[in-house]
Amino acid sequence: MKSNSGIGVVEVIIIIAILVAIASIATVASAQTTPSVGISTSPIFSTEQYQTTDDQIDGPDVTEEQIDLLARLITAEEGYATSHEIGTEAYNNILECYALCGGVVINRIASDEFPDTLEEVIYQPGQYAVVDSGAIEKPYDDIAWEIAEELLVYGTEIPDDVVFQAQFMQGSSLYRQVGNQLFCRR
């Protein structure tokens, strides 16, 4: 499937490979200069293998409506990566947040603690402020569409207990922080 901008799966895989390379370089540099503070520096995606479970969305049954919904949630939660000029670091942070935000939704679908469908997870009362504000109804970012599609078809590689995302600490521990966004374990 193509997004509105014509970005294909190959381009998304290239972007993911670049992010993995940047994360690897940052991991080496971080290990040499600062002690670990409990934030994972492992890449979100691996081009070798995706983790999926029987409880997660079955790839062949993914609909464009589901991709659209997840892409709109990701965009509303994290902002637009392609709508304005931003620096490389900010752009990479947005892409990482896109993948983490979508990964949290995928993990919630698979969790016994949350509803079982994409729609129920996203529209669960009190979970996403962008639903209450109506921001989720705005158009999606084209890159968010590609990431949403990849996540819905192949699953996520973030640990399955990462089910919280906010600008404050939730759950038992921090998995990763990107800018002011905290992605936390149950």
pLDDT, tens digit (0-9, with 9 covering 90-100), for 103-144: 999 999 999 999 999 999 999 999 999 999 999 999 998 999
DSSP-derived secondary structure letter, 161: T
The domains of the chain are located at 9-185
pLDDT at 20: 61
- Give the other-Cβ count within 10 Å of 167's Cβ: 9
- Give the other-Cβ count within 10 Å of 184's Cβ: 21
pLDDT at 17: 61
- CATH code for the structural domain at 9-185: 1.10.10.2520
Q: pTM score, two decimals?
A: 0.67
Half-sphere exposure of 81 (CA within 13 A, CB side): 28
171 pLDDT exceeds 90?
yes
